[in-house]
Structure 1
Amino acid sequence: MHEVAEDVFCVEGTAVNWVLLRDGTELTLIDAGWSGDTSRVEASIRALGCHPRDVQAILLTHAHLDHMGAINHFREKYGTEVFMSTADATHARSGDLEQAHPTDIIKRCIRPRGIRWTARIIRAGALKPITIPHASSYPHTGPLDLPGTPVPIACSGHTSGHSAFHLPDKRVLITGDALVTGHSLSPITGPQLLPPFFAHHPDEAHTALNILADIDADWIIPGHGSPWHGTPTAAVELARHNAAVTDTL
């Protein structure tokens, strides 16, 4: 667990991150790992001296299995609500997720890097379908009345309703999978886009970088890879440069 800014924590699960925002004894959880990461999500909350029932809501950057894993557990055990964009809430409720096709994954399993990653995510729940019947859209635009006061930022491309979250007071931008700093399939580290086969609309994923570049922040917390110290403008410039590598993966 890395405290990126005061009361803003990035936690690494199985090749994926989630974020905890703390305000006193209350928390907001952003993303929730794979289903196999559920106990680790709870452990990260307890490591802050909190209880899982202290999570006031879960925010989802996008409806993919590696970010949805613990959500139903928190709903069933603690009654925790989950909010996301309207488009991704629709997919989360139906289970019709805008994810990479299995054949895209299989093609990459022949590479050593791909074999290791695939084995890890299968153990973490990659073959376990998830629906979130209680998925709700954000109750309003602008800052949410939750610990950390996160501001959803629409940046579709990776999915039709992908969101980032801005924490203006903390000068932190949580980018989900719209901008990452590493991935098990990538040979490079630093700001980058995920390989195009992960994106529902790859061209829009490139365009979404324009939205992120304009946000005022000093830290980026991605859905994959380590937190990155620098402005979104600089991160986007590097991601565009690195696209020469990531677009071929």
Structure 2
Amino acid sequence: MDLVEVLPRLHLLRFPIGQAYLWRDGEELTLVDAGHADGAPAIEDAIRSLGLDPHRLRRIVLTHCHRDHVGAAGELAGRYGAEILAHRLDAPVVRGDAPVPEPVLLDWEIPLYEHGLTVPVAPPTRVDRELEDGDDLGFGDGARVVHAPGHTDGSIAVHLPHHGVLFTGDAIAAVGQVMLGVFNTDRPRALASYRRLAALAPATVCFGHGDPMTEDAAKVLRASADRDAGLEVDHG
């Protein structure tokens, strides 16, 4: 796993497939997504390498129910007493009470989807708080839930307006280009969510897949959302 500083209070934890983000408010820690089911030791090591204490992990915010985002949440929460948060519509899937929704795949997405299934299946994971659009998440000086359905019904983004930071989950991707995320259950709704997120005009964008964007983020998101298929960019 790679550990990358995005901002002084924000680090990317990048796995071979998928990634998570660590936000710090003083000594209090928040994870946005939790990587795959075998990822807890690597996440713990990353936290300690920053001189921080995993016991200060207060919450794990899940952007949606897929295995590469939920995987280590239960283990970490059980060990450190963190609260797990997910949108109301994806919470039953996270808990194992409902099946993972099947995406409507475009032809070019099929091999990518099959590769993604090599990630270990996430175990049933408790959800301590079910989220709705606009909820205050209790970190980041006013982090808010932005419901962004289309990838899954309960997909969310996390917006920190005070810091100009947006975590998109898989609603938007940045693998080679900034574009609509793949493997959507409802592509028209996903496109509408993409435009809603772009309208937030963040200064820093943290994607579920791909490098974070810290320069011209608002401009790139607006342009790529307007074009639907995405805009080829080089943002380092």
Q: Please indicate the TM-score interval, normalised by the length of the shorter structure.
A: 0.7 to 0.9
What is the alpha-carbon distance in structure 1 between the residues aligned to residue 109 and residue 228 of structure 2? 24
Q: Alpha-carbon deviation of 1:107?
A: 4.9
- Residue 184 of structure 2 corresponds to 199
The answer (yes or no) to whether the contact 1:14–1:33 under 8 Å persists in 2 is no
SS of residue matched to 2:89: helix
- Residue 42 of structure 1 corresponds to 44
Does residue 243 of structure 1 match 2:229?
yes
Instruction: In structure 1, list runs of 5 or more residues that go unmatched.
Output: 109-113, 183-188
- Residue 152 of structure 2 corresponds to 159
Structure (1 or 2) with the greater strand fraction: 2
Larger RCO: 1 or 2 (CA < 8 Å, sep 6+):
1
The answer (yes or no) to whether the contact 2:174–2:211 under 8 Å persists in 1 is yes
What is the alpha-carbon distance in structure 2 between the residues aligned to residue 220 and residue 18 of structure 1? 13
- Residue 66 of structure 1 corresponds to 68
What is the alpha-carbon distance in structure 1 between the residues aligned to residue 20 and residue 102 of structure 2? 19
Instruction: In structure 2, list runs of 5 or more residues that go unmatched.
Output: 232-236
- Residue 179 of structure 1 corresponds to 172
Counterpart AA for 1:168: P
SS of residue matched to 1:170: coil
Equivalence map 1:104-143=2 (5 Å): 107-108=110-111, 114=112, 118=115, 122=118, 124-125=119-120, 128-138=121-131, 141-143=134-136
Equivalence map 1:222-241=2 (5 Å): 222-228=207-213, 229-239=215-225, 241=227
When normalised by structure 2's length, the TM-score is 0.84
Distance 1:16 1:148, change over 3 A: farther
Q: Deviations over 1:176-225 (max 9, x none)?
A: 1001101xxxxxx1211233xx1111111111112112103111110000
Q: Provide runs of 4+ in structure 1 moved above 6 Å.
A: none
What is the alpha-carbon distance in structure 1 between the residues aligned to residue 174 and residue 110 of structure 2? 23
May I ask how many residue pairs the two structures share in their alignment? 226
Root mean square deviation of aligned Cα: 2.8
Distance 1:64 1:153, change over 3 A: same
Q: Deviations over 1:105-142 (max 9, x none)?
A: 9952xxxxx59x82x862x41xx352113342138944
The answer (yes or no) to whether the contact 1:100–1:199 under 8 Å persists in 2 is yes
What is the alpha-carbon distance in structure 1 between the residues aligned to residue 209 and residue 167 of structure 2? 11
What is the alpha-carbon distance in structure 2 between the residues aligned to residue 40 and residue 155 of structure 1? 29
Counterpart AA for 1:194: G
What is the alpha-carbon distance in structure 2 between the residues aligned to residue 34 and residue 156 of structure 1? 22
The answer (yes or no) to whether the contact 1:56–1:147 under 8 Å persists in 2 is no
Distance 1:95 1:101, change over 3 A: farther
What is the alpha-carbon distance in structure 2 between the residues aligned to residue 77 and residue 26 of structure 1? 16
What is the alpha-carbon distance in structure 1 between the residues aligned to residue 230 and residue 178 of structure 2? 13
Structure (1 or 2) with the greater helix fraction: 1
Does residue 14 of structure 1 match 2:1?
no
